[in-house]
Structure formats: C-alpha cells, structure tokens
C-alpha cells in the first residue's frame, strides 16, 4: 500500500491509544497514590472509578474559559499550544515493536524512523521549555513569573545530565535511531541474560539509567522536583491563571511528557520490546500473568470486604481471562503477524508501565526538594557523575570493542 496511507493508519492508531493512555494515566496515578496513602482513591464514578477521567473531562470542558484582561493575549494562548503540541509529537519516533508483515504490507511498528531519532527527542525537550516560560511570563502575575522561570531553569539545568546519560548507551549501540538502538539490544548473554543496555558488556549502563531516571523526574516536573508547580508553594506556579481547556492542555502535556520519557528510557536502557528471557519460553509470560491477575480479581471478589466489589471484581477477572486468551493465541503463534505485534506490545507496555508505576510510587513516597537544593544537586552532583559515567563508558568501549 502507499506509504502515506499506511502512515496515516498508524498515526490514527497511535494517537487514539496515546490519548486514552493519557486519560487513564491520571486514574492510575490517583489509585496508586491512594493505596500508598491507605485510602481507596476514585471509587464511585463507574466501577472502581474507571469513569473518573471522563467525569474530569466533562468538568474541565464545562468550566468557564477565562481570558483575563491583564494578560499578554498572544503569548497566553500560545503557551499551552506549544506545550501540548510538542509533548504529543515525540510519540511519533517511538518504535513499539519490530518490523511486521500484515497481509503483504511490510511496515515498522513506528510512525517515523528518523536516523537521528534520539536527537529529535532531545530537541523537542529543549524547545518544550518555552511553553512553561511563556505561560509564566504572559500571566502578568509575579507568582506565575517566578514559577515559570524556576521551572524553565530547572528543566534546562537537568537537560545536561539527561543528555549525558542518554549518550552513554549510544556509545554501546553506536547508532542514533531508536530502531537501531532497540535492535542492538536483542540477543542474550550466556543464553538467559538479556542484552539490554543496563546489562550490556563492556560497561553495563546501570548508572546511566539511574541518572536518566533522576533527570527524567526533574524534566517532567514531578515530585521530588516539582517545586515550581506545587500547590502549597507558589499558588499553582506557572499555570495559576489558566482555566478549563488551557489548564487541561498543561495537564495533558505533563502526562504526555511522562509517557514519552518512560518510552525513551525503555528503548535506551531496558531493551525496548525485547523479552526478558529467550523467545519460546517468554511468550508464555503474558498469558500466565493475566491468569494470575484474573485469579487475584476473583479471589478479591470472593472476600466480603466491600459489598460493591463482589459484583465488580468478577467482571475484571473475566476481562483478564479474555486478555489471557488473546495472548495465548499469540503465544501459540497461529497468526504470525498478530503474535509479533501482541508480544512486542506486551513487553514494551509492561516495561513502560513499570517505569510509570515507579514515577507514581516516588510521587507518593518522597518529599519535595527546595529550589536551591535542586539546582545545587543538578550542577554539583548529577552533572559530574553523568560526565564520569560517560568517560568510563567511552574508555571501556574503546578498550574492549573490536570495530
């Protein structure tokens, strides 16, 4: 089929899945935070609060869309536009799986495979600072200005350790495109240790992964680095003067940034869509995991704790059983392209989901850094450590790689 038609179909699929993920990411965050804090989170709007994102969308849309008279109108309207459009663009270079052949159409599971894909993501992260800075400045409000400038200064300071932590696995993979980096992480050492970047000889990139995750928390303005937008510190930081749809844009941009940066971390460090142990055995992880989840749902539904749960948990159990059935079909490899797509997507989503869970887990656990502590940490600790990691990686690659 024509390249444009195939790309258009991929764009529609990725966009639909991405927007749904963003909406339900908020549900996941609220539920996980709630269970960390020994409460239940959204429970009433739909079964276990699953309709909560929909209710939130209705609420945000029905709020009055203010345009305060004292703001600089062009920049006030431009800032959420920049933030959201850049955050949604990054997903177009993220590969979700290997090359797949559906009814004679060979295509990558990626919208666009740029030869300098990782630089594209860095460029978008660099330009994304303007959304925050302009939002703070155009609101004509000293709290917003302070919040905006602090957030932008934090983002550009942490871009340096982020970039250095990204360059280290690139030295091992010797490529800049995401597809090539993921492909270089296939295969297994000693038959069972995966060749992910964090395990890869000559220098396992475990330090680079930790530095990347810390810098990722700071880039996306999450706790423990979210002083610029904390509610009890600076009113609401740079999005104080925004209401309804524009506020929703900033929210969406923040969650989209979280998904983007965890996808980049998965591709660079955790091996993308490659499974944890070799192929025929790892196909069965997905059905077994779903069966265990279904069993847990049925068991929880049988206990007499909450009266409503006795009716809702069995439905979740059934849903997990259906998913287990689909992935069993994929594991048996009756339809080859379906099996490729489903298994690659399962491993990719499992790793990204785990990292998003770590993001929410850290939010529920750690207190906030003060601003000067944050900047001090970036420039005097994280940047030298990232630099030393890069030098050591380069040294080991130069000594131990035949090229």
Partner 1 sequence: MDTILFLIFAVVAVVCAFNLVLQTHPISSALSLIGVMASLAVLYLLLGAEFVAMAQMIVYGGAVMVLFVFVIMLLNAGSEKASTKAWFAQVAGLPLLLAFVGLLGFLIARALPDTRRVNFGSWVGGTAQEIGRALFTTYLLPFEIISVLILIAIIGAVVLAQKEIE
- Which residues here bind partner 1, judged by CB under 8 A? 75, 78, 114-116, 119-120, 122-123, 125-127, 129-130, 133-134, 137, 145, 149, 152-153, 156, 159, 176
User: What does each C-alpha distance from 384 to 152, 363, 389 come to in angstroms?
Assistant: 21, 26, 9
Q: How far is the CB of 75 from partner 1 (least distance, A)?
A: 7
Q: Please check whether residue 232 is in contact with residue 3, taking contact to mean a CB–CB distance below 8 angstroms.
A: no
Judge if the upstream peptide bond of residue 224 is cis by omega within 30 degrees of 0.
yes
Based on CB atoms, which residue is closest to partner 1, 35 or 115?
Answer: 115
Q: How far is the CB of 368 from partner 1 (least distance, A)?
A: 23
Residue 380, both tokens: 């005097």
Question: How far does CA 148 lie from the centroid of its chain?
Answer: 23
Based on CB atoms, which residue is closest to partner 1, 130 or 371?
Answer: 130
Distance CA 261, CA 248 (A): 20
Based on CB atoms, which residue is closest to partner 1, 75 or 199?
Answer: 75
Judge if the upstream peptide bond of residue 202 is cis by omega within 30 degrees of 0.
yes
Q: How far is the CB of 40 from partner 1 (least distance, A)?
A: 42
Q: How far is the CB of 333 from partner 1 (least distance, A)?
A: 37
| Residue indicated by tokens 């499992």 | 350
Based on CB atoms, which residue is closest to partner 1, 181 or 285?
Answer: 181
Q: Which long-range CB contacts under 8 A does 354-361 form with residues at least 24 apart?
A: 355/213, 355/262, 355/265, 355/266, 355/270, 356/25, 356/28, 356/258, 356/259, 356/262, 357/28, 357/32, 358/213, 359/217, 359/220, 359/222, 359/258, 359/262, 360/28, 360/29, 360/32, 360/33, 361/32, 361/36
**What DSSP state is assigned to residue 252?**
H
Q: How far is the CB of 133 from partner 1 (least distance, A)?
A: 6
Based on CB atoms, which residue is closest to partner 1, 17 or 112?
Answer: 112
Q: How far is the CB of 215 from partner 1 (least distance, A)?
A: 15
Q: How far is the CB of 355 from partner 1 (least distance, A)?
A: 24
Based on CB atoms, which residue is closest to partner 1, 60 or 119?
Answer: 119
Q: Residue count of the chain, please give it.
A: 403
Q: How far is the CB of 77 from partner 1 (least distance, A)?
A: 13
Q: How far is the CB of 176 from partner 1 (least distance, A)?
A: 5
Based on CB atoms, which residue is closest to partner 1, 6 or 78?
Answer: 78
Based on CB atoms, which residue is closest to partner 1, 134 or 172?
Answer: 134
What sign results for the dihedral spanned by CA atoms 8, 10, 16, 22?
negative
Based on CB atoms, which residue is closest to partner 1, 121 or 344?
Answer: 121
Which ranges in 37-141 belong to alpha helices (H)?
A: 52-62, 73-89, 117-127, 129-138
């Amino acid at each position: 089929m024509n390249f444009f038609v195939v790309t258009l179909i991929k764009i529609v699929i990725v966009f639909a899945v991405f927007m749904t993920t963003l909406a339900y990411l908020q549900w996941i965050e609220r539920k996980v935070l709630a269970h960390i804090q020994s409460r239940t989170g959204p429970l009433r709007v739909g079964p276990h609060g699953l309709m909560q994102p929909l209710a939130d969308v209705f609420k945000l849309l029905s709020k009055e869309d203010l345009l305060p008279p004292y703001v600089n109108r062009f920049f006030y309207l431009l800032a959420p536009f920049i933030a959201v459009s850049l955050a949604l663009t990054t997903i177009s270079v993220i590969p979700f799986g290997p090359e797949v052949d559906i009814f004679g159409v060979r295509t990558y599971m990626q919208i666009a495979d740029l030869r300098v894909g990782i630089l594209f993501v860095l460029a978008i992260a660099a330009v994304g600072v303007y959304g925050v800075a302009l939002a703070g400045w155009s609101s004509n409000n000293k709290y917003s200005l302070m919040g905006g400038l602090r957030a932008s200064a934090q983002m550009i300071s942490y871009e340096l350790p982020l970039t250095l932590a990204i360059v280290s696995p690139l030295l091992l993979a010797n490529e800049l495109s995401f597809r090539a980096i993921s492909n270089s992480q296939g295969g297994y050492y000693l038959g069972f240790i995966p060749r992910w970047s964090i395990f890869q000889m000559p220098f396992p990139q475990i330090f680079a992964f930790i530095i990347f995750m810390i810098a990722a928390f700071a880039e996306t303005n999450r706790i423990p680095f979210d002083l610029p937008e904390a509610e009890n510190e600076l009113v609401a930081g740079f999005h104080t003067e925004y209401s309804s749809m524009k506020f929703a844009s900033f929210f969406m941009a923040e969650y989209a940034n979280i998904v983007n940066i965890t996808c980049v971390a998965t591709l660079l460090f955790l091996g993308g869509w490659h499974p944890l142990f070799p192929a025929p055995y790892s196909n069965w992880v997905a059905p077994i995991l779903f069966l265990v989840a279904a069993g847990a749902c049925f068991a929880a539904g049988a206990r007499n704790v909450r009266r409503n749960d006795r009716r809702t948990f069995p439905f979740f159990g059934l849903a997990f059983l259906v998913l287990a059935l689909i992935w069993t079909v994929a594991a048996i490899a009756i339809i080859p392209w379906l099996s490729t797509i489903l298994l690659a997507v399962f491993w990719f989503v499992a790793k990204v989901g785990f990292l998003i869970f770590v993001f929410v887990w850290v939010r529920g656990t750690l207190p906030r850094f003060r601003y000067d502590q944050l900047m001090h940490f970036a420039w005097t600790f994280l940047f030298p450590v990232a630099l030393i990691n890069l030098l050591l990686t380069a040294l080991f690659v130069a000594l131990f790689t035949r090229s």
